[in-house]
Homo-oligomer: A and B are copies of this chain.
Amino acid sequence: MIIEYDGTNYCGWQIQKNSRTIQAEITKAIEEMTGQKTTLYGASRTDSGVHALGQTANFRTQSKLEPARIQRGLNGILDRDIVISQAVEVPDKFNARYDAKDKVYIYTMLNGPVRTALQRHFCYYNPQPASVSLMQKAARYLEGRHDFRAFASKAGSYKDSVRTIYDIKVTGKRLAGNSRMIYFKFRGDGFLYNMVRNIVGTLLLTGYKKIAPNAVKDILKSKNRAKAGPNVPAKGLCLVKVEY
């Protein structure tokens, strides 16, 4: 299934006791439709407040219902802030998480003198002027295959913190009144816990001219989370696509 959601009112993807999560809501809806217990495997365990346009997930069922019928049924049951955009049958061995090849995330930030009302749940607002060209330079040091431990919030818990980022695109879009939306688009084979948001927080330090673009290279090499920038707010992050 391809899934779109507004993460504002959820404690993230993963099922947790006493919390409203995306995985729990969809699992309940599937069980309601099929009458059978199931496990839902998601490609990415997005954090509380993070959005998705193209999360993917799979489950096994003995139900004889067509995928399109299941999709319509789930969209009828689920709250309006979650939608199953597509549902197809996959081979029995398929696992949405382990078979994922690339993931694309976009982090959105409003940079300008005034906050936004219409997009307030979907971007991080910071008035401090950030240089897009400096952040573009800094981003170059992070592309490629590296140990990204310095950008993982739970660095110690990874046996393998080597990942490949194919591409980081930082772009600015002018708005009225001397404001800009800044988009940070990441495409990689996988991301450590909070890695995208920690990288954006670090790139912003270069954009604010607090550190030089090439300092990002040393932060990466240090493998030390304490050297990197802060974790930017979840609401600016969106999982756009998972590729197989």
Contacts and interface: CB of A to CB of B under 8 A. Distances in A.
Interface of A: 2, 4-6, 51, 53-54, 71, 75, 80-86, 114-118, 120, 122, 176-177
B177 A114 contact: no
Contacts of A118: 4-6, 51, 53, 122
Contact of A6 (B51, B117, B176): B117
Contact of A83 (B82, B114, B176): B114
Copies in the complex: 2
A113 to B, nearest CB: 9
Given A85-B176, A86-B177, A177-B86, A80 B4 contact: no
B84 A120 contact: no
A75 B115 contact: yes
A116 B176 contact: no
A210 B115 CA distance: 43
A131 to B, nearest CB: 23
B6 A80 contact: no
A56 to B, nearest CB: 13
B117 A5 contact: yes
